Amino acid sequence: MADEEDGVLRVVQLHGHPVSYRTAGSGPALLLIHGITGSSVTWGEILPMLAERFTVIAPDLLGHGSSAKPRGDYSLGAYASGVRDLLALLGHDSVTVVGHSMGGGIAMQFAYQFPQACDRLVLVSSGGLGPEVSGVLRAASLPGSEFVLPLVTAAPLRGAADGFGALLSRLGLRTGFDLEEMWRGWSSLRDRESRAAFVHTLRTIIDVKGQRVSAMDRLYLAEGVPTMFVWGDQDPVIPVAHAHRAAALVTGSRLEIFKGVGHFPHRAQPVRFTRLLTEFVESTTPLARSTLPELLRAGPA
């Protein structure tokens, strides 16, 4: 079918809500999870390249993109359960999970909640590995931000910011990719339901002091799970120091730093990112998860 080849947006009903996703290709399954205010669109350049060797599933998380934006649970655990249910509906028992930014936090939660379903873990500029985070996101978590967001996302400002980000991208500046993606995300908050979902999601993971949720005390559970960290060394949202600290705690993990790149390595260097991910999947073997009880008993080193 054409839909299965080109990764156009498809919709299923999940727990009574429409959930949008893109899928393409055949072979081992890859799950791509976007970040906050993002959508499956962020994977647009790499999805067809990955589909040459893999079955790629890229959902719009609830509260994002073209998926429903109900009043409900927007915690990392709820998101992890949601993508697990989508995978089950689509007939996938296990996947390599790739998570960007907040999607990285969801990926780690997915691996923790459903270890049998996680073949590999790829964390791209991931949240959940330290408190430091952009001041813009910390400010957006403050009480009353829901009343300011309609002004920030007003149509004239959206247009100006989109144009500025596109201009910087055409000039080849690193910040162009960050601004383009960030303002695409901010401009998605044009309706009340999207803004409410954003605020509810943000406040489960971030407050004025930074990221509230950390997986650092559970990274030892990833021992033996093929794990790769991918980061831009100029990330203005989540510092690259998080990648170095986390990789040091996961025995056998792989760390790939993209020099001169910001928060969106898969957008800034899509060909390199695709080759790296493909090589990582094809050169590693999923962990036999019967070792999980032993890891829990041993605890962190």
Question: How far is CA 147 from each of CA 140, 144, 204, 248, rounded to the nearest angstrom?
Answer: 10, 6, 18, 41
How does residue 3 score in pLDDT terms, banded at 50, 70 and 90? very low
CATH of domain 2-132+213-298: 3.40.50.1820
HEC sequence for 201-244: HHHHHEECCEECCCCHHHHHHHCCCCEEEEEECCCCCCCCHHHH
Structural contact between residues 22 and 9, judged by C-beta atoms closer than 8 angstroms: yes
HSE on the CB side for 215, CA within 13 Å?
28
- Is there a catalytic annotation at residue 67? no
Question: How far is CA 28 from each of CA 69, 99, 282, rounded to the nearest angstrom?
Answer: 30, 17, 10
Give the start-to-end residue ranges of the domains of the chain. Answer: 2-132+213-298
How does residue 136 score in pLDDT terms, banded at 50, 70 and 90? confident
Report which residue type is found at 280. F
- Is there a catalytic annotation at residue 101? yes
Across the range 78-103, mean pLDDT stands at: 97
pLDDT at 265 over 90: yes
186-222 per-position pLDDT tens digit? 777 888 898 899 999 999 999 999 999 999 988 888 8
- Is there a catalytic annotation at residue 235? yes
Higher per-residue confidence, 141 vs 261: 261
pLDDT at 171 over 50: no
Higher per-residue confidence, 150 vs 166: 150
pLDDT at 37 over 70: yes
pLDDT at 185: 77
Catalytic residue, chosen from 60, 119, 178, 235, is 235
pTM of the model: 0.88
Mean pLDDT, the chain, whole residue set? 87
Across the range 9-23, mean pLDDT stands at: 95
Catalytic residue, chosen from 20, 67, 94, 101, is 101
